[in-house]
Copies of this chain bind each other. A is one copy, B any other.
């Protein structure tokens, strides 16, 4: 039954059926979580070996450095080489970070506000207005970082090829627009891989602001769960070739390769930016955790071996996304009330409910014991103008729990739509 073509009588009958099932769901007293892109326990087990690569004093030396001592602010040479291999850039473009790439991104934005970036005329906190582009739906924690420092967030529509570059190219003519958040591969939450043209248009941008920053969060750069590894271009060299060498800051981490609570991160950017940030960061720390850097290099070895490990993750993640697709195809597709993406990597399914029902649907989910990312979270200020987009994060629950959660989810999506159509 396509809801929009159904009679009121038919919808009322459907409402009774769905509502009865909702009550059954509630009666199960579930406590399930699809709110965050957290790896599951068995995924964390894949990287068990990372805990055992640096055990003895003799294991602690590499390239003439005792990793247990102070020093090497920008990271171990071998760790830079590892990240350069994964990201396809040069080791001289890498600054190795701590456990959190988010914290790295935060520090870059924080320094932009307190001190300015390499080509800033003044610290951003001295600007009357700082605007930041937020392709939406996008990652709430990105948006929060720039909002935290008082930037005005501007939503940019997403297309199937990435952010709408016509809009981006137009907006960057405003010198108050200082940057943009990007997740170029398996975007959060849409799972879109930016097309080659989109990436090239980013590299070719001619922003009015001399210190415009592309925050290129390559969080899911090797995170296929279906099919072969998809190559991605090196944004650092593309920007360099386009005459914008210092415009991009790329980030990555092993949070979803090894351990979400104990991995390593990296920033890739021009050598000039590395030099500038080395100076800035030297005010705040002597070194990152080099023992953990070495643990990771010894375990992950290189890009090829990392991709092998990612295949193990895919074996766990693939079936979970299949469950999501299966429920949505069976329960929601015939109703004509929603659409969603079918990514082959990343951590999310981006679901667009009937406009005006996302908040209500997730309130119903909560009532039935299923926690989801709050509706609206994927838009600047947490406000989805259509009240439609919902981020489904199926990684954490085991398959049997996920099936229950998806049953609840589909029920709530239907119920919210029926309530709206029937003005209940």
Contacts and interface: CB of A to CB of B under 8 A. Distances in A.
Interface residues of A, number: 55
Interface stretch (A164-172, A179-187, A258-266, A399-407): A258-266
A284 B102 contact: yes
A30 to B, nearest CB: 19
26 contacts: A41-B66, A44-B66, A44-B69, A45-B57, A48-B56, A51-B54, A67-B261, A67-B262, A68-B260, A69-B259, A69-B261, A71-B261, A99-B287, A102-B285, A103-B285, A106-B285, A110-B284, A125-B125, A145-B283, A145-B284, A260-B286, A261-B287, A261-B291, A262-B289, A262-B291, A262-B292
Interface in A29-46: 36, 38-39, 41, 44-45
A113 interface: yes
A46 to B, nearest CB: 10
Nearest to A261: B290
Interface string A279-311: 000011111111110000000000000000000
A288 to B, nearest CB: 6
A114 interface: yes
The oligomer's copy count stands at 2
A149 interface: yes
A47 to B, nearest CB: 8
A51 to B, nearest CB: 5
A330 interface: no
Interface of A: 36, 38-39, 41, 44-45, 47-48, 51-52, 54-57, 59-60, 66-72, 98-100, 102-103, 106-107, 110, 113-115, 125, 141, 144-145, 148-149, 255, 259-262, 283-292
A51 B44 contact: no
Contact of A114 (B55, B125, B285, B292): B125
A397 to B, nearest CB: 13
A261 B99 CA distance: 14
Given A114-B125, A290-B261, A290-B262, A51 B41 contact: no
A149 B44 contact: no
A39 B70 CA distance: 8
A66 B262 CA distance: 11
Contacts of A98: 98-99, 289
A144 B283 CA distance: 6
B70 A260 contact: yes
A125 to B, nearest CB: 6
A293 B68 CA distance: 16
A141 B287 CA distance: 13
Given A110-B114, A125-B125, 12 more contacts: A38-B69, A44-B68, A47-B68, A51-B291, A66-B261, A68-B262, A69-B259, A70-B260, A70-B261, A102-B285, A113-B114, A261-B291
A89 B125 CA distance: 37
A217 to B, nearest CB: 14
Contacts of A148: 115, 283-284
Given A69-B261, A114-B149, A262-B68, A48 B38 contact: no
B102 A291 contact: no
Contact of A110 (B36, B45, B54, B110): B110
B99 A288 contact: yes
Contacts of A149: 114
Contacts of A52: 55
Contacts of A60: 44
Nearest to A40: B69
B289 A289 contact: yes
Given A125-B114, A261-B70, A284 B44 contact: no
A200 to B, nearest CB: 32
Contacts of A106: 283-285
Task: Select the residue from A55, A68, A106, A259 with max chain B CB neighbours within 10 A.
Answer: A68
